[in-house]
Amino acid sequence: MLDALIVLGGLAIWLYGLIDCARTEQDVVRNLPKWAWLIIIIFFGFLGAIVWLFVGRPKGVALPKRRVTRMLPPDDNPDFLKKL
């Protein structure tokens, strides 16, 4: 059971590193080009993902936050009220 948990944890870190590297912009990747980091993560698996997270990933750059839009009822929507 513990072996399966360790394997699943390693797989999760590898997938996270692979997806994170693929979604990161080329301009903010550190130390190597993005294509090189992807090859390292694919061929070295878990260790490549760990190296990406500590050495290649941009520092202090967060993913853009999604803007939450809320629906306004017609009597509160200024655009709707202007059309009346």
Tens-place pLDDT, residues 47-76: 999 998 898 888 765 555 666 677 767 777
Residue-number span of the structural domain to which 48 is assigned: 2-56
- Residue 15 in any domain: the answer is yes
Does the pTM of the predicted model rise above 0.85?
no
12-20 LR contacts (CB < 8 Å, sep 24+): 13/46, 13/49, 13/50, 14/41, 14/45, 14/46, 14/48, 14/49, 16/49, 17/41, 17/48, 17/49, 17/50, 17/52, 17/53, 18/42, 18/49, 20/52, 20/53, 20/57
**Is 40 inside any structural domain?**
yes
Residue 48 DSSP one-character state? H
Average pLDDT over residues 12-39: 91
Query: Is residue 52 in a domain?
Result: yes
Confidence bin at 29 (pLDDT 50/70/90): confident
* Mean predicted confidence (pLDDT) in 25-32: 87
In this predicted structure, the answer to whether residue 38 has a pLDDT above a threshold of 70 is: yes
